[in-house]
Amino acid sequence: MATMFSNQSGSTTHGSNSSLVRVLRDLKAIHDLAMSVTTRRMSHRILADFYDSLMWSIDDMWQDAMEGRLVVDSISVLRALRDVQCRDLLRLIREPELHRDRIVRETRLMRNILVNLVRPQSHNRGRRSKTDYIGSHSLS
């Protein structure tokens, strides 16, 4: 079964954005684990570990966006992903009854948001305005 995270022609890597690549890798790990869980107790612990790794990667991605190393279309969407979608995923992981389909759906949604949110930097080279860089936006 092909997963929705297959890396065909670099479509999910967006150049050298390593924080994005790590986030997508962690989402893939959670997705794949949810698809193949065998024991509930073990899967909750492993999913929680992958979730922790995902949050570290998202924090790095947030920092990259704030410092202008990563170009995104909307800081609000990135903030919602970090503050809302990640909490929803954690809630699903912590539920006593593991709902694979909901975890898989949530990881797919997060992946699709990220792939559509992050701009490939090679396409914008030489044509960037100040507002292209999230680091130039005020968060206050």
At 7 the pLDDT is: 35
For the chain, 140 residues long, the average pLDDT of each consecutive 10-residue run is 35 58 94 79 83 94 90 90 93 88 94 89 46 38
Alpha-carbon distance of 94 to 45, in angstroms, equals 9
pLDDT of residue 63: 92
* Residue the block writes with tokens 């920092």: 63
**Predicted pLDDT at 59:** 92
Measure CA of the first residue to CA of the last residue in the chain; give whole Å. 45
Residue 133, pLDDT score: 41
